[in-house]
Chain A
Amino acid sequence: MRLTGVGRRYGPRGPWALRGVDLDLPASRLVRVTGGNGSGKSTLLRLVAGVDAPAEGRVTGRPARTAYVPERFPAALPFTALDYLIHLGRVRGLRGAAARDRAGEWLERLGAARHARTPLAELSKGTAQKVAVAQALLADPGLLVLDEAWTGLDTVSRAVLDHAVRERVAQGATVVFVDHDPRRLEGEADAEYAVAQGRVRPAAVPAQPRPATGRRVRIVASGGRALPPDLPGGTAVAPGQGDATVLSVPADRSDALLAALLAASWHIHRLAPAEADRNDEGDVRV
């Protein structure tokens, strides 16, 4: 997906909220957007998600299934949590029964299953936010846009969302997010962009992982076919014994690498912290 020369202003004579945005958002990438209040980062996210159309420039190649979690999700809709999610599932092309199953499943994962029959208007702010997150995840989006989606969630739900984001990236989705907490998914973003005064520029992000600080995980696997493209950033690949391949990856991205290998039908032989691998203790055999 690409944004080419994109600008956005409100009304034909309004001031430009964003201008001259050139952005490449490939598949299987986690992209962080930073910027102060009113810098235009929410505007950028709305353009990426297709909520707003650019006043100039073009947005091309947006994945078919797009999901957006707004900064504040209003509970003022006359549906129950489950009914709302079923409607949104259907809008994304799920059939009625599948939409119901996925909706129930995500409410369960986010710990909001007991609120399935509660009208949205009666939900607490935190639970309403869970519904907003659930609607985004229930149809496996190819593009996931999160505008402060973690705000208002409890610790467990935040971890569930972190995990879901990694899962989406590993399965080939583009995830673009804004979060006020700089430690959110720290070191995992493949690219970072800073928005200031209506301009977007790449922020300094280490292209390679920092080996001095990061623990690494060593994975021995075999596939008899090519490695999947789009492995997580910082993955090192070396030939192993026989037909095995030895992969080394920063510990915080091991989930994503495992998911990518398993999705490509590779076999995992061994998985261990890179240092402990030599004495063969503490290995996890798969």
Chain B
Amino acid sequence: MTALVRYHAGLLLRSQRWLAPLVLYAAVLGIGVHAGEPVLGALALTAAALLPVTAWAVRICLTQEPSAARAVVAAAGGRGRGHLAALLTGAGGAGLAGAVAVGTVVAVTDTRGVGPAAAVTAGLLGATACALVGGAVGALASRPFLKATGWSLAALVVGVLLALVAAGSPARQAVTVLTTGSGPGVLFGLLPSAAGALVLASAVAALSRWATARLE
């Protein structure tokens, strides 16, 4: 699996398609986060903005390989495992950007009442919940479920909006806890969201992995 992730990461880095979502993420945070503002509100934006970025990154990783190259890798490493590696690469890359963003935001905002350590943990939990839900949206909006680019992009946008506003979404819960919470107690509010996102993302990844060799 490590070799497959390295292969997909190599494809992503050399294709430079990672640039657009990363620039978008940096722009949103640059405009939305102000130095010296309360940390939790800024972390809520950091997490929420990571959701579309992860969905986009996962879609890039799932679609960047020509189908014959995908067939070669499928024979070498397994079709399902190759698909899973693409999902992990997209979600992992976005997650890495989210972690850097959390560190930066905590460094420039006001952590009074929370403490830097608790703020970083809260930021990472929130970012994890949003990245996992975003990854699930990206996986459901791409092959093998939606192959035509138009439908895929439309589903991606609708999916991202729903994930941010729908009542049951772990991402929305995490953002709400960060926005309304205060003090280190916010961590306990974030744990169920992160756990729920993990369950959701695992289920979607398993379904997507199973479907790839069957629906295409």
B72 an interface residue at 8 Å Cβ cutoff?
Answer: yes
Most chain A CB within 10 A, of B3, B69, B74, B76, is at B76
A66 an interface residue at 8 Å Cβ cutoff?
Answer: yes
A93 CA / B76 CA spacing, docked (Å): 9
A150 an interface residue at 8 Å Cβ cutoff?
Answer: no
B9 vs chain A, min Cβ distance (A)? 10
Q: Kindly specify which of A20-28, A48-56, A224-232 makes contact with the partner chain.
A: A48-56
A61 an interface residue at 8 Å Cβ cutoff?
Answer: no
B148 an interface residue at 8 Å Cβ cutoff?
Answer: no
Q: Select B73's contact among A53, A55, A91, A132, beta carbons within 8 Å.
A: A91
When C-beta atoms are compared, the residue in chain B nearest to A93 turns out to be B3
B11, A78: Cβ atoms under 8 Å? Answer: yes
A132 CA / B76 CA spacing, docked (Å): 12
A51-B213, A76-B66, A77-B11 as given contacts; A68 in contact with B75, CB under 8 Å = yes
When C-beta atoms are compared, the residue in chain B nearest to A49 turns out to be B75
When C-beta atoms are compared, the residue in chain B nearest to A53 turns out to be B213
A206 an interface residue at 8 Å Cβ cutoff?
Answer: no
A92 an interface residue at 8 Å Cβ cutoff?
Answer: yes
B194 vs chain A, min Cβ distance (A)? 31
Total number of B residues with any Cβ neighbor in A under 8 Å: 26
List, in ascending order, chain A residues with CB within 8 A of B72's CB. Answer: 68-70, 73, 88, 132, 135-136
A70-B68, A87-B6 as given contacts; A53 in contact with B11, CB under 8 Å = no
B30 an interface residue at 8 Å Cβ cutoff?
Answer: no
When C-beta atoms are compared, the residue in chain B nearest to A77 turns out to be B69
B11, A70: Cβ atoms under 8 Å? Answer: no
A88, B76: Cβ atoms under 8 Å? Answer: yes
Q: Select A87's contact among B10, B15, B213, B214, beta carbons within 8 Å.
A: B10
B75, A77: Cβ atoms under 8 Å? Answer: no
List, in ascending order, chain B residues with CB within 8 A of A219's CB. Answer: none
A132 CA / B216 CA spacing, docked (Å): 22
A53-B214, A74-B66 as given contacts; A90 in contact with B6, CB under 8 Å = yes
Q: Which residues 94-120 in B have Cβ within 8 Å of A in the complex?
A: none
B215 an interface residue at 8 Å Cβ cutoff?
Answer: yes
B70 vs chain A, min Cβ distance (A)? 8
Most chain A CB within 10 A, of B6, B14, B65, B214, is at B214
List, in ascending order, chain B residues with CB within 8 A of A53's CB. Answer: 79, 213-214
Most chain B CB within 10 A, of A51, A53, A69, A87, is at A51
**Which residues does B use to contact A, with CB under 8 Å?**
3-4, 6-7, 10-11, 14-15, 65-69, 71-79, 213-216
Sample of 7 more A-B contacts, CB < 8 Å, known A66-B76, A79-B10: A49-B71, A50-B74, A52-B79, A68-B71, A68-B76, A90-B6, A91-B77
